[in-house]
Amino acid sequence: MDQDTKKPITYGTRNLADEDLTQAVLATFENSSSERFQKVMQSLVRHLHAFVKDVELTEEEWFKGIDYLTRIGHITDDQRQEFVLLSDILGISMLVIDINNKQSPEATASTVFGPFFVEGSPRFANGDDIANGASGEPCFMHGHVLSIAGEPLPDARIEIWQADDNGFYDVQSQESSQVYGRGHLYADEAGNYSFWSVRPEAYPIPEDGPVGELLEAANRSPMRPAHVHFMIKVPGYKTLITHVFKEGDQYLDSDAVFGVRSSLITSFDRHEPGIAPDGKKMDVPFYTMHYDFFLMPIKE
Ligand SMILES: [Fe+2]
């Protein structure tokens, strides 16, 4: 495309202010090659301009905002996703999830992806211990992966990640680079899954970066109720990204990222030393968690 055909001709850019300026910027998207891109960008510009006018943004605040976003970019790498965390604490993540997951009530609810997922987790066999050195009390987690019609979904790929009992994910550890509390496995032919790990505990989201500054300025709690992350993939079904939350946790109604759904809360039951549900002999007290996941078929 040559420069002349690229150039929008429906507006001028000189001496613009207020509403004329907004209209001129909106017009620059009129020739977009994608209708969806045009709609998203024009709406974004309308809302950003309205926001700047609404708060009468000062130049100092504008510089501060640019600096804030820059620092979020600088602290983000392949093991720390501060942009996702910002989206989470502003409720944007849950809004996007709600809009895109208006599904059958029989399906397991989705919740935030969070900033601690890492590609390429170790593979385990169904029934293995994924704790791999994570500190905490042993917990046997098990259940089924089913369709919303109740049919077992064999070979469902189940990705699990969780914090240790100090509230840290492996990627947050300063001392070691060991992968712990993280892995993937496949359900058996009857849709059964099970694994050992540690009982999750409530934890604060990372406060040592720009998101922490924002929480501090707003006098907001960084705490999240105890949970285990799951991502379940089955061909022909909508991928489920969710958590299972620990019943009775004190932060279930004050989650820093607004991610709790009542249907995702379940009990983690304590047992004295003895035989676990998988036949393993336990010399120390242990916990069990049972949860079934229900997936939505993808409509043709
Ligand atoms: Fe988490």
Rounded-to-integer distance, Cα 222 and Cα 209, Å: 12
CA distances from 87 to 91, 167, 194 (A): 6, 21, 32
Instruction: Tell me how far apart the terminal alpha carbons of the chain are, to the nearest angstrom.
Output: 37
Distance 168 CA to ligand 1 centre (A): 9
pLDDT tens per residue across all 300 residues of the chain: 455 556 555 567 777 878 889 999 999 999 999 999 999 999 999 999 999 999 999 999 999 999 999 999 999 988 789 999 999 999 999 999 999 887 788 999 999 998 889 899 999 999 999 999 899 999 999 999 999 999 999 989 999 999 999 999 998 877 778 899 999 999 999 999 999 999 999 999 999 999 999 999 999 999 999 999 999 999 999 999 999 999 999 999 999 999 999 999 999 999 999 999 999 999 999 999 999 999 999 975
Rounded to 5°, angle at Cα 289 from 285 and 293:
165
The Cα–Cα gap between 120 and 182 comes to 10
Centroid of ligand 1 to alpha carbon of 82 (angstroms): 14
Reading the block at residue 70, the tokens are 């820059």
Structure tokens at 284: 């120390």
How far apart CA 171 and CA 85 sit, in angstroms, is 15
d(CA 94, ligand 1 centre) in Å: 14
Please state, as a whole number, how many other Cβ atoms lie within 10 Å of the Cβ of residue 216.
Answer: 11
Give me ligand 1 centre to Cα 245, in Å. Answer: 10
Q: How far is the CA of 226 from the centre of ligand 1 (A)?
A: 8
Rounded distance from Cα 228 to ligand 1 centre (Å): 7
Cβ-proximal residues to 233 (8 Å cutoff; 6+ apart), any chain: 156, 157, 159, 239
In angstroms, the Cα distances linking 94 to 73, 78, 86, 101, 229 are 22, 22, 12, 10, 15
The residues, ordered by sequence, that sit 6+ positions from 61 with a Cβ below 8 Å of its Cβ are 55
CA–centroid distance, 114 to ligand 1, in Å, is 6
Question: Cα of 35 to ligand 1 centre, how many Å?
Answer: 36
Ligand 1 centroid – CA 180 distance (Å): 14
CA 54 to ligand 1 center in whole angstroms: 35
Q: State whether the Cα torsion 69-202-138-268 is positive or negative.
A: negative
- What is the distance in A from the centroid of ligand 1 to the CA of 278? 26
pTM, rounded to two decimals? 0.88
Structure tokens, 283: 């010399």
Give the distance (Å) from ligand 1 centre to CA of residue 19.
Answer: 43
Closest by Cα among 298, 266, 128, 107 to 196: 128
Find the 169 Cα to ligand 1 centroid distance in Å: 8
